Structure 1
Amino acid sequence: MTVRGLGGHPTVAHARGSPTLTAGQGGDVNRENAHSVAADDRGATPLARPPDPRQPFDTPHRHHAARHARPRLTEGSVVRRRLTDLVDAGVRRLVTVVCAGPGWGKTELAASWAPTSTDPVAWLTVRPDDNDRTRFWAHVVAALDGLDAIAPGSTLARLEPSTGVTDGTLVRILDGLDELTKPVVLVLDDFHELRRRRVLDDLDDLLLYPPEGLRLLLLTRSEPALRLHRLRLAGDIAEIRAPDLAFREDEATLLFAHRELRVTCDDLAHVLERTEGWAAGLQLAAASLAGGRRGRPVDGLAGDDGVTDYLTREVLTDLPPNVRRFLMRTSVFDEVCADLATAVTGEPYSQRILEDLERANAFVQGLGSSPRWFRYHPLLRDVLRHELAVESPGAVPELHRQAARWYHGQNAVIESLRHAAAARDWIHLGRLAVMWLPVVVSADRAAFVAVLRQIPPNEMSTSVELLLSAMLVQYTAGDYADVPRRIAQARDLLGRPSGRGTLAVEVALLTIEAAITARRRGDMPALVDAATGTLARLAHARFAELPALLQYRAIALCHKGMGLLWSGHPGRADRYLWAALTASRGVGLVLVEINALGYLALLAVTRGSVSEAYEHAAHAVDLADRRGARGATQAVPAHLALALAELEHTNRPEAERAFQEGFDAHRGEPDVTHVLLSSLVRARLLVAGGDLDAARGELRRARSGAAATMVAPALDRWHRLTESEVDLLSGHAEAVVARYGRHTDSLLPSETVCLARAELAIGGLDLAEALAARARAAAPAGLVAVWSWAVTALVADAQGHGNRSADALANAVRIAQREGARRPLVSLGERRLTALLERQRWLFRENANFVADVLAESTTARPAPAVSPQTDLSDRELEVLRYLPTVLTAAEIAVELRVSVNTVKAHLRAIYRKLDVTRRREAVVRARELGLI
């Protein structure tokens, strides 16, 4: 039994060849007597109308017969196999919907697929008069009859001319469709012409209880007004839409080839970009080329009469005047949302209009699954812009001004600036640029500067805001020399009676002076003062007068943190840099975030925390890489800090790579602190390579090349510390003692431990141990602790305290392993340390692998001794020499060597003479310098 609901009216239950029961009636009635008394959706009278002798039910007009014929393919049509395959797969389901706007090739697709179909294809091109129920079903039956799918004597064949379609007649038609002699695909072209609810309800009834042999292929410009949700849920519908119908590159190439037209790859790509694969657009482009307009097949497409005429007739003509005006005024935007559209049109129902246009496939596309933003097809947008320019030429600048104000209210900086530039409202553009100057250190830097470059040169000096905008353009282009003059010019303008000293101008000028003037000179106290003044001014500002308040604050925090670091206040610098990092991350200033991370990494280096430095630097470099800012000057500190961390890991190739990236990034930047810092890193790389003379030369050049204006005490101390490292490895420990020995109370932990190493080298064991303990107390972790414990271990060993030496070295190894820092243990330059490390492998097995790595590197990393006096000690003399760092007496050494005490004393005299020393302690120090013990 089949049950059908007739167009939303009382259900008629029936079985083939049996009476029907109409709901609400108490008995059997004939299907022919069932009828509807409902009006259509517009409140008209029932569709059962008086007789019309001109159109009996089963005899449509002769000129309508063409509507049952499949359209012929035009010359040059491209049969696209991927699409016909989609239709082939789709018609296996109950309904296939091909839905797209005009000109997308829906009809051509169905016409090219039909000859390949394994099932007969009936075709009906729907017209507006098919909203009459009688006419529509008459044409459906006629289309099917043309396929010989209606058997003689069947229900459909026995239908007689009728004055109209009643519910009973429709039941007979639906029953007749069950009796089709073969499976049929019914194509309903221009399905969007069906708008009357009565006809659509009939089709809903058909789809609710479909005939087994009938499949529907609907070609429509708008979403079918049918209840398709059930079919979607059951997976019994296939849908092909504009993105599927869009021509691909190979298909477009074939289309032009069919017309014997040759286009370059660039032209073809441009055609596809402008048309977005729209079939009609491509065909019009081909026609333009074929007509002799070969010079501009794409650029002239938007103004082509064919495109304009097509879009006007097929898309715009039938639109209500208010909607057409809405489209014209909003066409000035590449993307539009309801709020923006309302702001420039005054239309309160903008969202509904945009959604209706999208549903109607009127070349309006929603962006996203629940779209708030929409875009128009590029060709339609160009046609609308042309109409707007013709009908309202003065409206375009005003629309851009209104858009600039709207985007400014949304804090959409770049779009606001672009519309101000499009309106050529340079004064407003300058004000916006100053308000949002921090964007220049965000991911939108390039777009921001690109808009500022549109300001005409003759407008640059008409206001302070435009002057500051010109200054930013010059600075980002690498023209640093003229910036001080521009700053002075801006100050002069502000000093005039007509000058406008707004908060935005004041803060922008302070920020530029700090970023360019103070940093360029390397005057860190001045940078701290400028940043402090900016922060104080911002503390009383309001968002209404300075929308970028938080962005300005993030920049000032970073400037102050950097200035404090190089001024020698690491504790305060740490707080400000962390605040800058958090603030910049919160407001999207990616370059400030990278910069703050880099300086935090350098701060960790100065404190000797290698693992922390590596973490911050690697994070900053990774962020710069993801945001396309790896070569930005703001990434220089991160690259150089990463190089220093890699050196402590004894990973010289990676250190050199990081240094080179940092050097390349700062090469064009006039920041003297970067220049000096790069020289220090290069010197440390040379030390790691064993070229101590080159390292010393690099440090001399850095000192002589430092700008006279630079005031950066922490960098100066770092420079001296690097010189001391070279002195120690060169065998000039006395130079380190001379440099630091008189100021031990004011030394930093890193300087204190450096002096301890120097005292150890010249034999001042007690002072070396005391200095190491002082450094360790001030910095109980990190590199300073590794160096200090290593010095303590060597002092204890020299004094014969084996257990104390082993424990001290174990502490050094433990901290070094945690930090991943092998350099202190590799480059200390003590042969005895190697022996002590060998013992560590057996005493402390948990560090065995790390110690093994250090020992493997120490055999090749130790620089050659700086002096080479006579060292031709005999084997027996070398044996005696190895006992000198111990506490054994001459007699005890004689017992150990199984010789007489006089023999040992004779060897000692020979050792002193050959090493040019007079005492046992001096012999130990000299032997260590020469690498003999």
Structure 2
Amino acid sequence: MKGAVPSPRSGQDGEGEPDALEVDTIAAAPPILSLRFAPPSLPPGFVVRSRIDEMLDAARGGDVTLVCAGAGYGKTLAVAAWAQSVHRLDRTAWLAAGEGVGVAAFWHDVIVALRMLPVVADEARIAEFMPGPAFGDSDVAGLVDALSSLPETVTLVIDDFHRLTSVDLLKSIHRVIECGVLTVHLVLISRVEPRIPMRRLQVMGRLREIDAAVLAFTPGEAEDLCARIGFGLDPESRERLMNRTQGWPAGIRLALLSATVEYGGDVHAALTGFGGGGKLVASYLLEEVLARVASSDREFLLATSVTPVVCADLAQALTGRADSRAILEQLVARNVLTVRLTGRAGWFRYHPLLREFLRDRLTIERPQEISTLHRRTAQWYLDSGELIPGIRHLVAAGDWLAVAKVVGKSALPLILTIHGGELAAALAPALDVVERDPRPEVLLAASVVAHHSRDFVTMRQNALDAETALLASGVEPPRWAQVIVALARMVAARVFTPVELYESANEVLTVATGASRNELPAVGAYAVIGRTNVAISLVLRGEFDRARVHLEDVRVEADRAGVALTSAAAHAYLALLDVIAGDLPEAGRRSDMLARLGVRRGWTQQPQLLAANAASALVHLETDELDAASECIDSGFDLVLHGSDLPATVVLQIAAVGVALARRELHTARAAASRLRALSASCTGLPLLDHWVAVSLARVELLCDDVDSAEKILTGLPASTSSSSSEFSAELVTIARAEVLLAQHEPRAAFDLLGTPARYAAHRTLVVEAALLSAIAADRLRLDSIALERMGQAIDAAAPIGALRPFVAHSEEITVLLARYRHLNAEPSELDRALLVRLTAADGAATIRPATPSDPLTERELAVLRYLPTMYKSAEIAADLFVSVNTVKTHQQSIYRKLGVSTRRAAVDRAREWRLL
């Protein structure tokens, strides 16, 4: 095994990774999304202000420039003008922040924006980094590494930064900023001060601010603007203009527009009717402008204000006007707060002040038309393949039946992608509506939101309530409703009752395969998701051959269906099957590939990789790399917080018990066994887990010298079976029973029970254990030649796969026997040498720990120790204690040394044993 999930060892070249996981998941951005990756074009008469350009130019890599002011200060256009100059265009990436965007989707968009730059396009680290839905802290480190690999410094502009409200997202952005990536100059354009700590950057000289005072027009700039659009201002009018607007760019533009529309170009007259600033000025002037435009153009503006961006086709769908393109072009030419968007030809955007004003007028004047306009907008987006904007407008229209249809037919698979947060945000109003109007369609939408929030109890209840209501009508529920309910039931089974997973996953598969693409356009994704869970349930039932066939097929089908993480999940369970088969090198290779992929893509927090963590931990355990196994276990339990794979969690805890047994840490083993009992309580009825858990618990009792309890745990489990489907489970129990018989000093019974090692040939690690226990039993019976023969069989079986654990576990009994075997086999193998080193170390290891640490913990170490049972990370502990992260880590290592452990979990267990906690 070369590495652990999700932290692989360095120096791996990635050779041999399956093509299915190497597909580039950055597809061409859809039309609406592509508009977010380009700045707006500059309106006629735009005044370039070199003083602002100079401030932006002064920033270096690692700096942050904050452009912060209220609406109408020309923030976006000022930065866009700077970015679009010839010598900056190829090194400035642009991203307009979206509504309800989550952590993964935001960083995905950042990567896409950067890859559009010529200097970045071929950079391998950036090209491979593709955040998963559960993007987390460890992925931020990988992102920083990827950004640091850029060949030269670039500027990343985040427009509308105030739209980003997710606490987790802002935290991840702050972490990246704190790292000071020297290859990226970050420009944040926001209406309000960002909700991330910025003052520390200011102290460090890394923050540059462009505020309202800087963005306000000077008298000279205002005069230049007037001259560019054909106004000649006398000194009195210029003074009045500046006094009334205080240099507010939107106010100046609106005043000139009002003068053009109503006062024949007389700015002085246009300025006589209003006072104050900000929105009051804007509302007055926009009212003046809108009152004077043609009635048909006014209707056009009101109707098209329901969407943040508009093109001629969409405008025509909303207004019925075939001349929509001409009207939009005219608005730009007349400077009516409308700009072209450079990301895609033919798209336009109203200034936020204008759009807000128009929406207010529409609500007042034509409230009955708003739902119709939203429905038309939604239909246009859906016809264009833009599912989430379409859903957002259907929600705004209150058409929950149409919402549920779109979700069930096409959009639901997005919940498993980086766009899951956006889908959940679009559906979030269902949570309020369902309390007063629990119609089936609202319940189904709320179920999807609950899934994203990992509130699986509410998810299941909402889906089942919806199903009950639909069935009460006496008509079979439509396919789109059936698939949402079936998926909710399947997820609930995987979380709460895995024994029901096979049936519920097959239900998903039946609904999907029985539907046409007209009924369920997302049928391909549903089929893959269903088949993956069928395969997982087959693993748990012990039907390994059938499971492997399904998983191999899913690997290929998942990428074709656009659910690449499902392909990773298939690989993870294939790694677990490799462990069960005893093919440790293949399990290690597959898990290591997933580890590297997780780091490169930003998938280290994906619950789909949990089974790979469990497989990796078991491989390290069998090869006696206990520290590496513990690292995998700790990483795996971090993933448990993000996902719903209870069976993989149980296997991970089995590995944790195994590590404690290998270290002969009595209290840690008991604590791990207690956690295993609690986790596995909901997994009864699954042959693989029932037997594996029982064997692990029995071995803990043997470690504690409670042979009777070990025997009791194994009583009632079948010793053998003719069914190949449960062969592994039965053989595992047989070996455990043989261990109990040896502990009861019944070597003959153990020897007879084990039989020949050949019976375990399908599971190579079991061959090693069975042969070794048989050798011990034969040695006790004074069957010397058979004992040596079995020892040779154990070594021959262990050598190709590197299985050391069984030898170390029974080191006290095999030392003499192994020496005799070596004496008769003069040419020692690599395994012999490794065994000699490990057994020597094992002989010197104490099996009973002192009741208290010989070197007492300091006050500071005790303070850090109290945080270890919590979910606090090192950085959070450091912040609480007002020390550096390195200081916390130094204290942690000292605690581990004094307690005689190597992991955080073991330190907590040992501290509780010694009553330090």
Relative to the length of structure 2, the TM-score reads: 0.53
Structure 2 counterpart of 1:688? 662
Q: Percent identity?
A: 25
Contact 2:621 2:655 in 1 (8 A): no
Q: Deviations over 1:277-316 (max 9, x none)?
A: 79799999997895999xxxxxx99846369969999xx9
Contact 2:583 2:801 in 1 (8 A): no
Provide the rounded CA distance (Å) in 1 between the counterparts of 2:490 and 2:313.
39
Amino acid across the alignment from 1:454: P
Structure 2 counterpart of 1:82? 54
Contact 2:75 2:215 in 1 (8 A): no
Q: Identify the match of residue 469 of structure 1 among 426, 438, 445.
A: 445
Provide the rounded CA distance (Å) in 1 between the counterparts of 2:821 and 2:244.
84
Contact 1:334 1:376 in 2 (8 A): yes
Provide the rounded CA distance (Å) in 1 between the counterparts of 2:56 and 2:644.
64
Are the structure 2 counterparts of residues 474 and 840 from structure 1 closer, same or farther at C-alpha, using a change threshold of 3 Å? farther
Q: Deviations over 1:23-61 (max 9, x none)?
A: xxxxxxxxxxxxxxxxxxxxxxxxxxxxxxxxxxxxxxx
Counterparts of residues 364-375 of structure 1 (less than 5 Å): 364-368=339-343
Are the structure 2 counterparts of residues 336 and 81 from structure 1 closer, same or farther at C-alpha, using a change threshold of 3 Å? closer
Structure 2 counterpart of 1:537? 511
Structure 2 counterpart of 1:17? none
Provide the rounded CA distance (Å) in 1 between the counterparts of 2:662 and 2:330.
70
Amino acid across the alignment from 2:540: W
CA root-mean-square deviation: 6.0
Structure 2 counterpart of 1:815? 800
Provide the rounded CA distance (Å) in 2 between the counterparts of 1:422 and 1:724.
59
Provide the rounded CA distance (Å) in 2 between the counterparts of 1:707 and 1:105.
62
Give the C-alpha shift of residue 493 in structure 1: 1.4
Structure 1 counterpart of 2:113? none
Structure 2 counterpart of 1:927? none
Contact 2:692 2:732 in 1 (8 A): no
Provide the rounded CA distance (Å) in 2 between the counterparts of 1:593 and 1:845.
39
Structure 1 counterpart of 2:761? 777
Are the structure 2 counterparts of residues 349 and 555 from structure 1 closer, same or farther at C-alpha, using a change threshold of 3 Å? farther
| Secondary structure at the counterpart of residue 542 of structure 1 | coil
Give the C-alpha shift of residue 715 in structure 1: 0.7
Give the C-alpha shift of residue 487 in structure 1: 4.6
Q: Deviations over 1:125-146 (max 9, x none)?
A: xxxxxxxxxxxxxxxxxxxxxx
Give the C-alpha shift of residue 494 in structure 1: 1.7
Q: Identify the match of residue 827 of structure 1 among 776, 784, 809.
A: 809
Are the structure 2 counterparts of residues 317 and 373 from structure 1 closer, same or farther at C-alpha, using a change threshold of 3 Å? same
Provide the rounded CA distance (Å) in 1 between the counterparts of 2:242 and 2:562.
47
Structure 2 counterpart of 1:563? 537
Deviates more, 1:548-557 or 1:316-325: 316-325
Structure 1 counterpart of 2:914? none
Structure 1 counterpart of 2:426? 451
Q: Identify the match of residue 616 of structure 2 among 642, 646, 650.
A: 642
Provide the rounded CA distance (Å) in 2 between the counterparts of 1:275 and 1:363.
24
Amino acid across the alignment from 1:683: V
Provide the rounded CA distance (Å) in 1 between the counterparts of 2:405 and 2:56.
57
Provide the rounded CA distance (Å) in 1 between the counterparts of 2:242 and 2:820.
84
Give the C-alpha shift of residue 824 in structure 1: 3.1
Deviates more, 1:398-407 or 1:651-660: 651-660
Q: Deviations over 1:775-829 (max 9, x none)?
A: 44333x4x23443565677789962589967864652453233xxx432343232
Contact 2:719 2:734 in 1 (8 A): no
Contact 1:636 1:662 in 2 (8 A): yes
Provide the rounded CA distance (Å) in 1 between the counterparts of 2:586 and 2:215.
53
| Secondary structure at the counterpart of residue 799 of structure 2 | helix
Counterparts of residues 186-205 of structure 1 (less than 5 Å): none
Deviates more, 1:439-448 or 1:476-485: 476-485
| Secondary structure at the counterpart of residue 815 of structure 1 | coil
Give the C-alpha shift of residue 416 in structure 1: 1.8
Provide the rounded CA distance (Å) in 2 between the counterparts of 1:249 and 1:277.
19
Q: Identify the match of residue 716 of structure 1 among 683, 686, 690.
A: 690
Provide the rounded CA distance (Å) in 1 between the counterparts of 2:314 and 2:214.
25
Give the C-alpha shift of residue 626 in structure 1: 7.0
Deviates more, 1:527-536 or 1:270-279: 270-279
Q: Deviations over 1:643-674 (max 9, x none)?
A: 33332343333433433344455469887646
Matched, 1:553 2:527: yes
Q: Deviations over 1:314-352 (max 9, x none)?
A: xx9999999998777555434456654554455678889
Give the C-alpha shift of residue 454 in structure 1: 1.0
Matched, 1:505 2:481: yes
Counterparts of residues 734-753 of structure 1 (less than 5 Å): 743-746=719-722, 748=728, 749-752=731-734
Structure 2 counterpart of 1:519? 494
Structure 1 counterpart of 2:376? 402
Q: Deviations over 1:738-773 (max 9, x none)?
A: 869983455534445556667788544994797342
Give the C-alpha shift of residue 718 in structure 1: 0.6
Provide the rounded CA distance (Å) in 2 between the counterparts of 1:427 and 1:720.
49
Give the C-alpha shift of residue 448 in structure 1: 1.9
Are the structure 2 counterparts of residues 461 and 568 from structure 1 closer, same or farther at C-alpha, using a change threshold of 3 Å? farther
Q: How many residues align?
A: 617
| Secondary structure at the counterpart of residue 378 of structure 2 | helix
Provide the rounded CA distance (Å) in 2 between the counterparts of 1:608 and 1:853.
23
Contact 1:104 1:278 in 2 (8 A): no
Provide the rounded CA distance (Å) in 2 between the counterparts of 1:276 and 1:441.
44
Give the C-alpha shift of residue 717 in structure 1: 0.8
Amino acid across the alignment from 2:376: Q
Q: Deviations over 1:224-282 (max 9, x none)?
A: xxxxxxxxxxxxxxxxxxx99x9x999999xxxxxxxxxx99xxx99979999797999
Structure 2 counterpart of 1:440? 415
Give the C-alpha shift of residue 502 in structure 1: 0.9
Contact 1:522 1:673 in 2 (8 A): no
Contact 2:498 2:682 in 1 (8 A): no
Counterparts of residues 15-26 of structure 1 (less than 5 Å): none
Are the structure 2 counterparts of residues 302 and 643 from structure 1 closer, same or farther at C-alpha, using a change threshold of 3 Å? farther
Amino acid across the alignment from 2:478: T
Matched, 1:787 2:763: no
Q: Deviations over 1:610-669 (max 9, x none)?
A: 344445555556666777775565554344333333323433334334333444554698
Are the structure 2 counterparts of residues 586 and 722 from structure 1 closer, same or farther at C-alpha, using a change threshold of 3 Å? same
Structure 2 counterpart of 1:422? 396
Structure 2 counterpart of 1:610? 584
Deviates more, 1:450-459 or 1:759-768: 759-768
Structure (1 or 2) with the larger CA radius of gyration: 1
Q: Deviations over 1:715-749 (max 9, x none)?
A: 11111222454466667889679869983455534
Gaps of 5+ in 1: 1-70, 87-100, 110-242, 254-263, 294-299, 866-933
Give the C-alpha shift of residue 690 in structure 1: 0.8
Contact 2:392 2:426 in 1 (8 A): yes
Amino acid across the alignment from 1:512: A
Provide the rounded CA distance (Å) in 1 between the counterparts of 2:76 and 2:795.
81
Provide the rounded CA distance (Å) in 2 between the counterparts of 1:859 and 1:838.
18
